[in-house]
Amino acid sequence: MSPKLQKKFEEIVERFVELKDTSELMMDLAYSSLLLNSKKLAEDVQELEEHVDKLHTDFELLVLSSGFKPEEAKSFLGLIRLGVVTEKIADAAAEIAEVVLRGIKPHPVLKLAIEEAEETVTYVQVTENSMFVDKTLREVHIPEETGMWVLAIRRRGKYIRPKPHTKIESGDVLIASGYAEGEEDLKKLASP
Amino acid sequence: MPHLGKIEYKPISVRELFLEMKNLSELMIDLAYSAALFNDKELAEDVLELENRVDTLTYLLEMEIMIATRDPDDAEALAGVSKVASAADKISDAAADIAAIVTQNIGVHPLISEVFEKVEERLTRAKVSKASILVDKQIGELDLAARMGVDIIAIRRNKDWIINPKDTEPIKIDDVLIARGAPSGVKEFKALAEGKLRKLED
Protein backbone atom coordinates (compact mmCIF):
# COMPACT_ATOMS: atom_id res chain seq x y z
CA MET A 1 0.00 0.00 0.00
CA SER A 2 1.32 3.44 -0.86
CA PRO A 3 2.00 5.69 2.14
CA LYS A 4 -0.49 8.19 0.75
CA LEU A 5 -3.25 5.62 0.57
CA GLN A 6 -2.37 4.30 4.00
CA LYS A 7 -2.73 7.80 5.39
CA LYS A 8 -6.09 8.24 3.70
CA PHE A 9 -7.41 5.04 5.23
CA GLU A 10 -6.11 5.99 8.63
CA GLU A 11 -7.95 9.28 8.35
CA ILE A 12 -11.19 7.54 7.32
CA VAL A 13 -10.95 5.12 10.23
CA GLU A 14 -10.16 7.90 12.67
CA ARG A 15 -13.23 9.88 11.61
CA PHE A 16 -15.40 6.80 11.64
CA VAL A 17 -14.29 5.81 15.15
CA GLU A 18 -15.20 9.28 16.38
CA LEU A 19 -18.60 9.10 14.70
CA LYS A 20 -19.30 5.61 16.04
CA ASP A 21 -18.11 6.36 19.57
CA THR A 22 -20.20 9.51 19.70
CA SER A 23 -23.39 7.78 18.62
CA GLU A 24 -22.81 4.87 21.02
CA LEU A 25 -22.16 7.33 23.81
CA MET A 26 -25.38 9.18 22.93
CA MET A 27 -27.36 5.99 23.16
CA ASP A 28 -25.86 5.14 26.50
CA LEU A 29 -26.47 8.64 27.87
CA ALA A 30 -29.99 8.80 26.43
CA TYR A 31 -31.07 5.62 28.22
CA SER A 32 -29.34 6.79 31.39
CA SER A 33 -31.11 10.17 31.19
CA LEU A 34 -34.39 8.28 30.98
CA LEU A 35 -33.69 5.84 33.79
CA LEU A 36 -32.37 8.59 36.04
CA ASN A 37 -34.84 11.23 34.82
CA SER A 38 -31.97 13.65 34.28
CA LYS A 39 -32.72 16.62 32.05
CA LYS A 40 -29.11 17.71 32.20
CA LEU A 41 -27.95 14.42 30.74
CA ALA A 42 -30.69 14.63 28.10
CA GLU A 43 -29.38 18.07 27.15
CA ASP A 44 -25.91 16.59 26.69
CA VAL A 45 -27.42 14.09 24.27
CA GLN A 46 -29.10 16.86 22.29
CA GLU A 47 -25.83 18.75 22.10
CA LEU A 48 -24.05 15.65 20.84
CA GLU A 49 -26.74 15.19 18.17
CA GLU A 50 -25.68 18.40 16.45
CA HIS A 51 -22.06 17.33 16.66
CA VAL A 52 -22.85 13.95 15.06
CA ASP A 53 -24.49 15.61 12.07
CA LYS A 54 -21.30 17.49 11.40
CA LEU A 55 -19.09 14.43 11.96
CA HIS A 56 -21.23 12.44 9.58
CA THR A 57 -20.97 15.01 6.79
CA ASP A 58 -17.20 15.22 7.24
CA PHE A 59 -16.95 11.43 7.13
CA GLU A 60 -19.00 11.17 3.94
CA LEU A 61 -16.96 13.86 2.22
CA LEU A 62 -13.75 12.13 3.20
CA VAL A 63 -14.92 8.74 1.88
CA LEU A 64 -16.25 10.22 -1.35
CA SER A 65 -13.06 12.13 -2.02
CA SER A 66 -10.77 9.16 -1.44
CA GLY A 67 -10.38 8.54 -5.17
CA PHE A 68 -11.42 4.89 -5.17
CA LYS A 69 -11.45 2.80 -8.32
CA PRO A 70 -14.70 1.48 -9.84
CA GLU A 71 -13.94 -2.06 -8.66
CA GLU A 72 -13.59 -0.79 -5.11
CA ALA A 73 -16.98 0.95 -5.17
CA LYS A 74 -18.74 -1.81 -3.27
CA SER A 75 -16.48 -1.74 -0.27
CA PHE A 76 -16.77 2.03 -0.13
CA LEU A 77 -20.53 1.70 -0.31
CA GLY A 78 -20.19 -0.40 2.85
CA LEU A 79 -18.47 2.53 4.54
CA ILE A 80 -21.08 5.05 3.41
CA ARG A 81 -23.81 2.76 4.75
CA LEU A 82 -22.01 2.43 8.08
CA GLY A 83 -22.03 6.21 8.34
CA VAL A 84 -25.73 6.51 7.49
CA VAL A 85 -26.75 3.88 10.01
CA THR A 86 -24.54 5.37 12.71
CA GLU A 87 -26.32 8.68 12.24
CA LYS A 88 -29.67 6.89 12.59
CA ILE A 89 -28.60 5.51 15.95
CA ALA A 90 -27.74 9.02 17.07
CA ASP A 91 -31.18 10.24 15.95
CA ALA A 92 -32.93 7.51 17.91
CA ALA A 93 -30.89 8.39 20.99
CA ALA A 94 -31.92 12.03 20.61
CA GLU A 95 -35.57 10.94 20.46
CA ILE A 96 -35.22 9.20 23.81
CA ALA A 97 -33.60 12.31 25.27
CA GLU A 98 -36.45 14.40 23.89
CA VAL A 99 -38.96 12.37 25.91
CA VAL A 100 -36.98 13.24 29.06
CA LEU A 101 -36.71 16.93 28.14
CA ARG A 102 -40.46 17.26 27.61
CA GLY A 103 -40.88 16.15 31.20
CA ILE A 104 -42.02 12.82 32.53
CA LYS A 105 -45.36 12.98 34.29
CA PRO A 106 -45.80 10.76 37.32
CA HIS A 107 -47.74 7.60 36.64
CA PRO A 108 -47.98 4.29 38.54
CA VAL A 109 -46.53 2.38 35.59
CA LEU A 110 -43.46 4.60 35.64
CA LYS A 111 -43.13 4.70 39.39
CA LEU A 112 -40.40 2.17 39.79
CA ALA A 113 -39.00 2.92 36.38
CA ILE A 114 -38.13 6.52 36.77
CA GLU A 115 -39.54 8.54 39.63
CA GLU A 116 -38.21 6.30 42.34
CA ALA A 117 -34.86 5.63 40.83
CA GLU A 118 -32.47 6.04 43.73
CA GLU A 119 -29.47 6.72 41.57
CA THR A 120 -28.35 10.15 40.53
CA VAL A 121 -26.10 11.68 37.93
CA THR A 122 -23.18 13.76 38.99
CA TYR A 123 -20.68 15.97 37.17
CA VAL A 124 -17.26 16.15 38.81
CA GLN A 125 -14.21 18.02 37.63
CA VAL A 126 -10.80 16.40 38.00
CA THR A 127 -8.31 18.82 39.51
CA GLU A 128 -4.55 18.86 39.05
CA ASN A 129 -3.84 17.32 42.47
CA SER A 130 -6.21 14.38 41.99
CA MET A 131 -4.84 10.85 42.10
CA PHE A 132 -6.82 10.21 38.88
CA VAL A 133 -4.62 12.42 36.72
CA ASP A 134 -2.69 10.51 34.04
CA LYS A 135 -4.15 7.19 35.17
CA THR A 136 -6.40 4.96 33.06
CA LEU A 137 -9.94 4.16 34.15
CA ARG A 138 -8.90 0.56 34.66
CA GLU A 139 -6.20 1.67 37.10
CA VAL A 140 -8.33 3.92 39.29
CA HIS A 141 -11.18 1.49 40.09
CA ILE A 142 -13.87 4.15 40.40
CA PRO A 143 -16.80 1.70 40.70
CA GLU A 144 -15.07 -0.26 43.47
CA GLU A 145 -13.94 2.85 45.36
CA THR A 146 -17.08 4.95 45.08
CA GLY A 147 -19.93 2.85 43.72
CA MET A 148 -20.20 5.38 40.88
CA TRP A 149 -20.07 4.45 37.22
CA VAL A 150 -18.48 6.82 34.70
CA LEU A 151 -20.91 7.36 31.83
CA ALA A 152 -18.86 9.90 29.90
CA ILE A 153 -15.90 12.21 30.15
CA ARG A 154 -16.15 15.79 29.00
CA ARG A 155 -12.81 17.17 27.84
CA ARG A 156 -12.32 20.58 26.27
CA GLY A 157 -15.89 20.74 24.98
CA LYS A 158 -15.77 17.18 23.63
CA TYR A 159 -17.41 14.08 25.03
CA ILE A 160 -15.38 10.91 25.35
CA ARG A 161 -16.84 7.45 25.67
CA PRO A 162 -15.02 5.85 28.60
CA LYS A 163 -13.08 2.69 27.92
CA PRO A 164 -10.84 0.78 30.34
CA HIS A 165 -7.70 2.22 28.72
CA THR A 166 -9.00 5.82 28.63
CA LYS A 167 -6.53 8.09 30.42
CA ILE A 168 -7.94 10.74 32.77
CA GLU A 169 -6.57 14.27 32.39
CA SER A 170 -6.58 17.21 34.73
CA GLY A 171 -9.58 19.42 33.90
CA ASP A 172 -11.74 16.50 32.71
CA VAL A 173 -15.33 16.47 33.84
CA LEU A 174 -16.45 12.99 34.82
CA ILE A 175 -20.15 12.35 34.25
CA ALA A 176 -21.05 9.50 36.57
CA SER A 177 -24.12 7.77 37.92
CA GLY A 178 -24.70 5.85 41.11
CA TYR A 179 -26.19 6.13 44.56
CA ALA A 180 -26.05 9.53 46.21
CA GLU A 181 -23.60 8.31 48.89
CA GLY A 182 -20.96 7.67 46.26
CA GLU A 183 -21.12 11.21 44.97
CA GLU A 184 -19.13 12.65 47.88
CA ASP A 185 -16.51 9.90 47.65
CA LEU A 186 -16.05 10.58 43.96
CA LYS A 187 -15.75 14.33 44.55
CA LYS A 188 -13.11 13.76 47.22
CA LEU A 189 -11.01 11.67 44.86
CA ALA A 190 -11.49 13.85 41.78
CA SER A 191 -11.13 17.27 43.34
CA PRO A 192 -9.45 16.82 46.73
CA MET B 1 -36.02 -15.42 8.03
CA PRO B 2 -36.63 -15.78 11.74
CA HIS B 3 -39.78 -17.50 12.87
CA LEU B 4 -42.39 -14.87 13.70
CA GLY B 5 -44.74 -16.06 16.40
CA LYS B 6 -47.35 -14.52 18.60
CA ILE B 7 -45.97 -12.47 21.48
CA GLU B 8 -47.74 -13.26 24.71
CA TYR B 9 -48.27 -10.71 27.44
CA LYS B 10 -46.04 -11.10 30.45
CA PRO B 11 -46.11 -8.72 33.38
CA ILE B 12 -42.66 -7.13 33.43
CA SER B 13 -41.94 -3.77 35.01
CA VAL B 14 -41.24 -0.89 32.69
CA ARG B 15 -37.91 -0.33 34.42
CA GLU B 16 -36.83 -3.86 33.69
CA LEU B 17 -37.87 -3.49 30.07
CA PHE B 18 -35.96 -0.23 29.70
CA LEU B 19 -32.87 -1.71 31.31
CA GLU B 20 -32.92 -4.77 29.13
CA MET B 21 -33.45 -2.67 26.01
CA LYS B 22 -30.48 -0.51 26.95
CA ASN B 23 -28.23 -3.53 27.45
CA LEU B 24 -29.46 -5.28 24.34
CA SER B 25 -29.08 -2.21 22.15
CA GLU B 26 -25.52 -1.70 23.32
CA LEU B 27 -24.59 -5.30 22.75
CA MET B 28 -26.24 -5.44 19.32
CA ILE B 29 -24.47 -2.34 18.13
CA ASP B 30 -21.09 -3.50 19.38
CA LEU B 31 -21.59 -6.85 17.68
CA ALA B 32 -22.84 -5.26 14.49
CA TYR B 33 -19.88 -2.92 14.06
CA SER B 34 -17.45 -5.70 14.77
CA ALA B 35 -19.28 -7.95 12.27
CA ALA B 36 -19.18 -5.29 9.56
CA LEU B 37 -15.64 -4.11 10.12
CA PHE B 38 -14.11 -7.56 10.38
CA ASN B 39 -16.46 -9.24 7.96
CA ASP B 40 -17.65 -11.73 10.58
CA LYS B 41 -20.81 -13.53 9.49
CA GLU B 42 -21.37 -15.34 12.78
CA LEU B 43 -21.45 -12.10 14.73
CA ALA B 44 -23.84 -10.69 12.15
CA GLU B 45 -26.20 -13.59 12.68
CA ASP B 46 -26.16 -13.03 16.44
CA VAL B 47 -27.24 -9.46 15.79
CA LEU B 48 -30.23 -10.60 13.75
CA GLU B 49 -31.23 -12.95 16.52
CA LEU B 50 -31.01 -10.23 19.14
CA GLU B 51 -33.13 -7.98 16.94
CA ASN B 52 -35.93 -10.48 17.36
CA ARG B 53 -35.63 -10.15 21.10
CA VAL B 54 -35.80 -6.36 21.02
CA ASP B 55 -38.97 -6.69 18.95
CA THR B 56 -40.50 -8.81 21.67
CA LEU B 57 -39.53 -6.27 24.32
CA THR B 58 -41.05 -3.36 22.40
CA TYR B 59 -44.31 -5.34 22.04
CA LEU B 60 -44.34 -6.00 25.78
CA LEU B 61 -43.67 -2.35 26.52
CA GLU B 62 -46.54 -1.24 24.27
CA MET B 63 -48.81 -3.77 25.99
CA GLU B 64 -47.92 -2.36 29.41
CA ILE B 65 -48.87 1.09 28.16
CA MET B 66 -52.14 -0.05 26.60
CA ILE B 67 -53.27 -1.76 29.76
CA ALA B 68 -52.42 1.26 31.89
CA THR B 69 -54.03 3.96 29.76
CA ARG B 70 -57.57 4.79 30.82
CA ASP B 71 -57.91 8.55 30.48
CA PRO B 72 -56.18 11.58 28.95
CA ASP B 73 -53.93 11.99 32.00
CA ASP B 74 -52.65 8.44 31.60
CA ALA B 75 -52.17 9.02 27.89
CA GLU B 76 -50.13 12.17 28.54
CA ALA B 77 -47.92 10.39 31.02
CA LEU B 78 -47.37 7.30 28.90
CA ALA B 79 -47.07 8.57 25.33
CA GLY B 80 -43.39 9.19 26.02
CA VAL B 81 -42.86 5.53 26.90
CA SER B 82 -44.28 4.58 23.54
CA LYS B 83 -41.80 6.97 21.91
CA VAL B 84 -38.98 5.20 23.73
CA ALA B 85 -40.22 1.85 22.44
CA SER B 86 -40.14 3.16 18.90
CA ALA B 87 -36.64 4.62 19.37
CA ALA B 88 -35.40 1.29 20.74
CA ASP B 89 -36.85 -0.37 17.69
CA LYS B 90 -35.02 2.07 15.41
CA ILE B 91 -31.74 1.35 17.17
CA SER B 92 -32.13 -2.37 16.74
CA ASP B 93 -33.10 -1.91 13.08
CA ALA B 94 -29.97 0.17 12.65
CA ALA B 95 -27.85 -2.61 14.16
CA ALA B 96 -29.47 -5.09 11.79
CA ASP B 97 -28.67 -2.76 8.87
CA ILE B 98 -25.03 -2.74 9.93
CA ALA B 99 -25.04 -6.53 10.12
CA ALA B 100 -26.60 -6.62 6.64
CA ILE B 101 -23.41 -5.07 5.24
CA VAL B 102 -21.85 -8.47 5.99
CA THR B 103 -24.76 -10.78 5.27
CA GLN B 104 -25.41 -9.11 1.90
CA ASN B 105 -21.74 -9.41 0.99
CA ILE B 106 -21.17 -5.70 0.59
CA GLY B 107 -18.38 -5.55 3.14
CA VAL B 108 -15.98 -2.73 3.85
CA HIS B 109 -12.58 -2.28 2.30
CA PRO B 110 -10.14 -4.83 3.79
CA LEU B 111 -7.60 -2.10 4.42
CA ILE B 112 -10.14 -0.41 6.65
CA SER B 113 -10.33 -3.53 8.80
CA GLU B 114 -6.56 -3.59 8.95
CA VAL B 115 -6.28 -0.02 10.17
CA PHE B 116 -9.29 -0.39 12.42
CA GLU B 117 -7.75 -3.38 14.12
CA LYS B 118 -4.85 -1.21 15.25
CA VAL B 119 -6.97 1.44 16.94
CA GLU B 120 -9.95 -0.42 18.32
CA GLU B 121 -10.55 -3.39 20.51
CA ARG B 122 -12.24 -6.20 18.74
CA LEU B 123 -15.00 -8.60 19.63
CA THR B 124 -14.81 -12.30 19.27
CA ARG B 125 -17.20 -15.16 19.79
CA ALA B 126 -15.95 -18.49 21.05
CA LYS B 127 -17.80 -21.67 21.79
CA VAL B 128 -16.71 -23.38 25.00
CA SER B 129 -15.56 -26.92 24.28
CA LYS B 130 -15.65 -29.85 26.66
CA ALA B 131 -11.86 -29.73 26.80
CA SER B 132 -11.65 -26.09 27.83
CA ILE B 133 -10.19 -25.22 31.22
CA LEU B 134 -12.80 -22.46 31.50
CA VAL B 135 -15.59 -24.98 32.07
CA ASP B 136 -17.29 -24.59 35.49
CA LYS B 137 -15.09 -21.63 36.40
CA GLN B 138 -16.68 -18.39 37.50
CA ILE B 139 -15.89 -15.41 35.33
CA GLY B 140 -14.43 -13.44 38.27
CA GLU B 141 -11.89 -16.09 39.25
CA LEU B 142 -10.40 -16.12 35.74
CA ASP B 143 -9.22 -12.53 36.05
CA LEU B 144 -9.20 -12.19 32.27
CA ALA B 145 -8.97 -8.41 32.31
CA ALA B 146 -5.70 -8.42 34.25
CA ARG B 147 -4.29 -11.51 32.51
CA MET B 148 -4.96 -10.70 28.87
CA GLY B 149 -6.99 -7.50 28.71
CA VAL B 150 -10.17 -9.33 27.75
CA ASP B 151 -13.69 -8.83 29.09
CA ILE B 152 -16.60 -11.22 28.59
CA ILE B 153 -19.50 -8.97 27.61
CA ALA B 154 -22.18 -11.58 26.91
CA ILE B 155 -22.92 -15.28 27.05
CA ARG B 156 -25.25 -17.06 24.72
CA ARG B 157 -26.54 -20.17 26.45
CA ASN B 158 -28.88 -22.25 24.31
CA LYS B 159 -31.45 -19.70 23.21
CA ASP B 160 -30.83 -17.29 26.08
CA TRP B 161 -28.52 -14.33 26.28
CA ILE B 162 -26.83 -13.19 29.46
CA ILE B 163 -25.67 -9.64 28.90
CA ASN B 164 -22.89 -8.15 31.05
CA PRO B 165 -22.59 -11.37 33.08
CA LYS B 166 -21.70 -11.07 36.76
CA ASP B 167 -18.34 -12.15 38.18
CA THR B 168 -20.07 -15.10 39.84
CA GLU B 169 -21.52 -16.46 36.59
CA PRO B 170 -20.08 -19.91 35.85
CA ILE B 171 -19.00 -20.84 32.35
CA LYS B 172 -20.63 -23.96 30.94
CA ILE B 173 -19.88 -26.36 28.12
CA ASP B 174 -21.34 -25.16 24.80
CA ASP B 175 -21.72 -21.56 26.02
CA VAL B 176 -20.97 -19.06 23.29
CA LEU B 177 -18.87 -16.34 24.88
CA ILE B 178 -18.69 -12.87 23.40
CA ALA B 179 -15.56 -11.12 24.53
CA ARG B 180 -13.85 -7.82 23.89
CA GLY B 181 -10.19 -6.94 24.05
CA ALA B 182 -6.93 -6.31 22.25
CA PRO B 183 -6.34 -8.62 19.24
CA SER B 184 -3.63 -10.74 20.93
CA GLY B 185 -5.66 -11.20 24.13
CA VAL B 186 -8.78 -12.07 22.18
CA LYS B 187 -6.87 -14.72 20.24
CA GLU B 188 -5.55 -16.29 23.43
CA PHE B 189 -9.01 -16.20 24.95
CA LYS B 190 -10.56 -17.96 21.96
CA ALA B 191 -7.92 -20.69 22.17
CA LEU B 192 -8.72 -21.14 25.88
CA ALA B 193 -12.45 -21.40 25.26
CA GLU B 194 -12.02 -23.85 22.43
CA GLY B 195 -9.73 -26.03 24.52
CA LYS B 196 -6.70 -25.49 22.29
CA LEU B 197 -4.80 -23.72 25.02
CA ARG B 198 -4.86 -25.50 28.36
CA LYS B 199 -3.04 -23.09 30.61
CA LEU B 200 -3.88 -19.74 32.12
CA GLU B 201 -0.78 -17.61 32.15
CA ASP B 202 -0.18 -14.71 34.47
How large is the ipTM? 0.86
Cα distances from A12 to residues A58, A61, A68, in angstroms, run: 10, 10, 13
Distance from CA of B50 to the nearest CA of A (A): 16
Overall average pLDDT of the B154-159 stretch: 91
- Taking 60 as the threshold, does the pLDDT of residue B1 lie above it? no
Gap between the Cα atoms of B21 and B25, Å rounded: 6
Domain A3-108 has CATH 3.40.50.720: no
CATH number of this structure's domain A118-190, picked from the four choices 3.40.50.970, 3.40.50.300, 2.40.50.140, 3.30.70.1450 = 3.30.70.1450
Cross-sheet strand order for the sheet of B176-181: B122-127, B176-181, B150-157, B160-163
- Looking at A39-48, A114-123, B135-144, B181-190, which range is the least confident one? A114-123
Q: Is B88 on the interface with A (CB under 8 A)?
A: yes
Q: Which chain B residue's Cα is nearest to A31?
A: B22
Cross-strand bridge partners of residue B138? B170
User: For residue B36, which residues of chain A lie inside 8 Å, CB to CB?
Assistant: 78, 82
Overall average pLDDT of the B12-30 stretch: 88
CB contact under 8 A, A20 and B97: no
Domain spans in chain A, listed from the N-terminal domain onward: 3-108, 118-190
For residue A138, the model assigns a pLDDT of 87
**CATH superfamily for domain B14-103:** Phosphate transport system protein phou homolog 2; domain 2 (1.20.58.220)
* Residue pLDDT, tens place only, B36-59: 988 899 999 999 989 988 999 999
User: For residue B18, which residues of chain A lie inside 8 Å, CB to CB?
Assistant: 31, 34-35, 113
Q: Is B131 on the interface with A (CB under 8 A)?
A: no
- Taking 90 as the threshold, does the pLDDT of residue B198 lie above it? no
In single-letter form, the type of residue at position B64 comes to E
Overall average pLDDT of the B6-25 stretch: 87
For residue B165, the model assigns a pLDDT of 93
Residues of chain A with pLDDT below 70 are 1, 111-117
Percent above pLDDT 90 for chain B: 51
Percent above pLDDT 70 for chain B: 98
Which residue of B21, B83, B109 is the best one to mutate when testing the A interface, meaning the one whose CB has the most A CBs within 10 A? B109
* Residue pLDDT, tens place only, B65-77: 899 899 999 998 8
Most confident of A33-42, B127-136, B158-167: B127-136
Average pLDDT, chain B: 89
Domain spans in chain B, listed from the N-terminal domain onward: 14-103, 121-193
Overall average pLDDT of the B18-45 stretch: 90
Contacts of B45 by beta carbon, 8 Å cutoff, 6+ apart: B99, B103
Gap between the Cα atoms of B98 and B92, Å rounded: 10
Reported as a pLDDT band with limits 50, 70 and 90, residue B202 is low
CB contact under 8 A, B98 and A82: yes
For residue B119, the model assigns a pLDDT of 75
E strand residue ranges, chain B: 122-127, 150-157, 160-163, 176-181
The H or E element that residue B185 is part of is: helix B183-193
In chain A, the largest separation of any two C-alpha atoms, in whole Å, equals 63
- Taking 90 as the threshold, does the pLDDT of residue B173 lie above it? yes
Distance from CA of A69 to the nearest CA of B (A): 12
User: For residue A41, which residues of chain B lie inside 8 Å, CB to CB?
Assistant: none
Please state which architecture CATH assigns to domain B121-193. 2-Layer Sandwich (3.30)
